[in-house]
A = this chain, B = another copy of it.
Amino acid sequence: VSRALNKPGRINSDTEAKIRAAAKELNYRANPMARSLPTGRTHMVAVIVADITNPMNFDAIRGAEFSAARSGYTTVIAESQESGRLEATALERIMPSVDGVILASSRLNDDEIAALAETKPLVVVNRRVDGVADVVPHVEPGIAAAIEHLKNLGHEHVAFIEGPAGAWMSNHRWNIILSQAVGAGLTVVKIGPNEPTFEAGRNSFDLVRASGATAVIAYNDLLAIGFMKAAQANGVSVPGLVSVIGFDDIFASEITTPSLTSIKSPLLDSATIAVERLLATIDGKNPDQSVPSSLYTTLVVRESSGPARKG
């Protein structure tokens, strides 16, 4: 029976047909738990994010879930609540139940991640860890466009509101902004670290103002929006006195006033590809490790960026 249902063609087709008919009539469903005992496969993958409610993570969750479901895998999502300890606890609980894990926004350090990757197939998204599979979109194009945009608007001094101390992607973005801004003849400073939240963006206002920057790029849109709201609350008009650019292009960026210029990152595709590679690894294949050229950032210009105030 097992052969009939699982290896179509491997047995007499009459027999197979009869078995299938009976199975259908009885509405038979294989018990996934029983199945996983002899095979060692659970057909589940874990997706770890720092915060389920942070729009930054939506597309990662969606892409992973979609991609997994398409292959018959079910996704379990765990949240680290921005805490490495909670993340470890959650992982401890979930690891034995899954065939592999996607780290979409992890608070673990590189060593912990590398150790985890020894245990089970694992791929990190938006981060690079030595010896661990990753999917990281090309961030240069979007940043280049943003820097050029600001330069064309007459800006000379820009501030980067960075993300959490441990966030690889925040550093990555900063490094590229730094080299491109300098290359374009702009001055640039980094302000932070900050939690990747609206509140933290608001709190960054004073330091950003103190820096004298006329344009800010934030590690993510929530930080950018928080900063923008603080600016408005302090009578500093956006983009009149300061231009603001975020990262990720979350939904909220469209509905703020002014709407937010943002560097959009292909999180959905990144997560989709990450899961595909994860499943390939689980199946014992050796997936391509290069970054698809389709994965690149783009600048979405809206109302929060404008000409630098003269003089």
> Which chain A residues have a beta carbon within 8 Å of chain B's beta carbons?
29-34, 36-37, 42, 44, 52-53, 55, 58, 61-62, 65, 69, 72, 74-79, 90, 93-94, 96-97, 198, 225, 229, 251-252, 255-257
Contacts and interface: CB of A to CB of B under 8 A. Distances in A.
Contact of A198 (B34, B62, B76, B251): B251
A31 B76 contact: no
Contacts of A79: 62, 65
Contact of A76 (B29, B61, B76): B76
A200 to B, nearest CB: 14
Given A30-B96, A255-B255, 16 more contacts: A32-B96, A33-B33, A37-B37, A52-B65, A53-B251, A62-B79, A65-B79, A69-B90, A74-B78, A74-B94, A75-B76, A76-B76, A198-B251, A251-B252, A255-B256, A257-B257
A47 to B, nearest CB: 10
A58 B229 CA distance: 23
A297 B251 CA distance: 26
Contacts of A69: 90, 93
If over half of A's interface residues share one DSSP class (helix, strand or loop), that class is named, otherwise mixed; here it is helix
Contacts of A74: 76, 78, 93-94, 97
Contacts of A97: 32-33, 44, 74
Nearest to A252: B252
A226 to B, nearest CB: 8
Given A29-B96, A33-B36, A97-B32, A62 B72 contact: no
Contacts of A229: 255
Contact of A33 (B37, B62, B90, B256): B37
A8 to B, nearest CB: 20
A193 to B, nearest CB: 22
A33 B29 contact: no
Contact of A42 (B29, B33, B72): B33
Contacts of A251: 53, 198, 252
A255 to B, nearest CB: 6
Given A75-B76, A225-B255, A252-B255, A52 B42 contact: no
> Which 8 residue pairs are nearest across A and B when measured between Cβ atoms?
A257-B257, A33-B36, A53-B58, A76-B76, A33-B33, A32-B97, A32-B96, A252-B252
A72 B37 CA distance: 21
A230 B97 CA distance: 47
Nearest to A47: B77
A256 B225 CA distance: 10
> Most B CB atoms within 10 A — which of A29, A32, A225, A256?
A32
Nearest to A225: B255
Contact of A52 (B62, B96, B257): B62
Nearest to A97: B32
Contacts of A94: 74
